[in-house]
Structure 1
């Protein structure tokens, strides 16, 4: 919807023009009304007016004075003059200030409709042309930025073709990251803020491949003004040094992005200048690899406090800020490789649920600050730690149970009980009893009975063996007890079971 301001000192004329336009263009315009140039100027200063319809002869400030005043506005409306005076002098003054059309009173309905249709069409064409030109310029600059080995001659050819003449005498590049809003709305928001608070500044604004808002401007002050008025939206801004040759625009962009990365270490700074950040080169030899390996090897042990202490030594913010953001990036990659990736390979696919967090923890710029990253990484490491301990416990329990079951199968014919077997595997009596039932689904006594009766069923297939002999061979000294237990499990007495087998 377009904003249209009607200025006339006669109320009925203002309302009449509004009614004519509303009927001809339903739901197209949002109307604002003023009775003279001063009132209109106040509205123009506080609103982005698209079209201005103004009378010439008005008290306090006439239409020509109003049109002259709006030349200083950052957002200039399309101006249509309305007058009852067919005076060529007024027309000449209007033309000087690029007034779109000059309409005489009384207003002709069709003429007004045709004029507004032409204004809207021209605005749409201009907007589409500007949008296409901006998209082309953005694509060309992004091509320069992402091309790894682009030659300076090719850069010069591209920027010359883009006709960035306004920046020929010197420029800065800024890279802005918004931490909460969507990427789509960020460029429009920045452009609105620049238009509102940095009127008259030359700039070009677009989005790079990472979703950062890139600002090309001649004035460094624009960045400071912009950030001072953007407190409602959490964002970080990196600024390049001043460059005087457009073929160096890739370097300027890289400086701005590098400066922007430092928000991770300095989240309290509203903007970060490339000239103020640590740019020392870091190698793998600077990384505390031994401490990282130590943390990895302690995962799953009973050394929680040592893990915490070692992690604090590795992620020492004072040391990291001294070394710079490139050190932090390399340190993070080493943590991923030595601790997180290695833990995944050691634990296997069963650990996938925990390691889903890796997608976030594995990239430091998913976090608003160093401390957010630190706490997330610490939580991740201790989840791995607990998971590894649980796995060790499960494997340990399985080993004990396998030992116990083998012992039972090897010694079922002996006088064994729960105490004997728990001592054999060196576990507490009560703990072993609970663990055994969890593992086998049976109490120790029932499991031993089951093993003995299965062995008895095998022995009873031999006609030479007497019932009392089978009873003794499977660990029952009392044949009556054996018979009772056999009947309990099989449903019939052992003698009957043997006779049935031999008769089949």
Structure 2
């Protein structure tokens, strides 16, 4: 199954692209974003293998997002869907090794054909992508792991990176730095004074393992002291604010500012305490409220969607089904309403 990230600021167009992708067997949209910064954050959290993005976005263009992916040597195939037939855009897309450049409006057949032409590249990126997904899973599970298990799993990931035969030149050090950056960022949530660790280009396997082991020893030493501190109250307060403002378009940055924390620090803390990413948590409490309204009122589905902050009905239906395994109408019928 190939995971897809769709970045498009127009809700109706984004809905259409998502539905087109879902019609293609073997592909699943695991993330949606309306801007470059949100898209970049989701790339580093969801690790998709395929990116479908517009060029013109509110905060920066889609080419900037692709440039960051290329500079980090991440295993992502990119398809651009643009309303602009400007030669300089196409030139930059070619320079960034974009797989396809499609002009709006696009049909389902056009998008499916473009994705099908990219299958060969996607297949070559499967192993590197698994490494990044394993890194993310390791980071997410750190608070629940015993120390012996932590070291064993970290060593397994490092062995996979050093032994990866399908990695492009330079990709190995890039993946090691992704792992190191995420590990350092996570440990800083419990020990903000931690010094930044650096991994030289020429670092060998033995030096690298020692660096990671030293960081994990710091985590094992510091985490028990941290687990009960007042950061729980900071996240609890943020969750209460979200619950009281379901109709608003609240972003991760807004909540970080509200909590007087950096975006990266807040994001890591939030996931550590709630067990979910910011977007997934906000969507879940919105859907839980929607389920309550479906049970206790005769309001129409689109009215309930608007009440809990979804401007797009198709997007509401998709998220509702992700959370409850049913569409809103199916949920109502299951209750005999």
Q: TM-score, normalised by structure 2?
A: 0.43
> Which structure is higher in RCO with an 8 Å CA cutoff and minimum separation 6?
2
Kindly name which structure, 1 or 2, has the bigger radius of gyration based on alpha carbons: 1
